[in-house]
Amino acid sequence: MAAVLRPYDPRDFSALYRLDQACFPAGISYSKTTLRYFLSLRSADCIVATDSGHIVGFILTEENPPLGHVITLDVAEKFRRKGIGSALLAESEKDLALRGVRHVLLETAANNEAGVAFWQRHRYRIEVTLKRYYQGRLDAYEMRKILRTETNERAADSGNLERRPGRKTV
């Protein structure tokens, strides 16, 4: 069955927290308090991927146009390499562009080879190494991407659009 993308619902919180704990080691994964904080930001947006009604991935971003920030992208191990992360990212970037974001940045552990390769496949470039970013000892890369200009021009022409709470199958 194909994964379905939909907006975050506060009832999803426990599943998102468990998924984040499974996807990242302690010190990189978010505490309940921190994850709740990010989800509660007025500037935050979260898209959830489900398969057979179960949450299998999510992307959490924040925006301060013209800058957007990927807070986290989590996909359950069993569902990786099936296009779910790419679909979540594409939908999120489209939504960010519609709201005037021109540049997206993120941080990823420098030793996360699979993660760095994923981001690079999606045209994110390493801009700087953040020394001892995680747990005061693990370096991270700050990666950035410039969103496509034509998408931003269409967004500017159409005004401020809100994301529709529909479903999308990937």
Cβ neighbours of residue 117 closer than 8 Å, sequence gap 6 or more: none
The pTM assigned to this predicted structure is: 0.86
- Helical H segments across 51-105, by residue range: 84-98
Question: Can you tell me which residue has the tokens 């801009």?
Answer: 127
Residue 106 CA to residue 152 CA, distance in Å, equals 20
- Asked whether the predicted pLDDT for residue 9 surpasses 70, the reply is yes
pLDDT value of residue 151: 42
Cβ neighbours of residue 57 closer than 8 Å, sequence gap 6 or more: 3, 19, 48, 49, 73, 74, 75, 76, 79, 84, 85, 88
Give the phi and the psi of residue 78 in degrees, each rounded to 5: -60, -20
Cβ neighbours of residue 157 closer than 8 Å, sequence gap 6 or more: none
Average pLDDT over residues 156-168: 46
Q: Which residue from 83, 67, 92 is spatially nearest to 6, judged by alpha carbons?
A: 92
pLDDT value of residue 12: 98
Residue 149 CA to residue 142 CA, distance in Å, equals 22
Per-residue pLDDT reduced to its tens digit, 115-159: 999 999 999 999 999 999 998 899 999 999 999 855 445 544 544
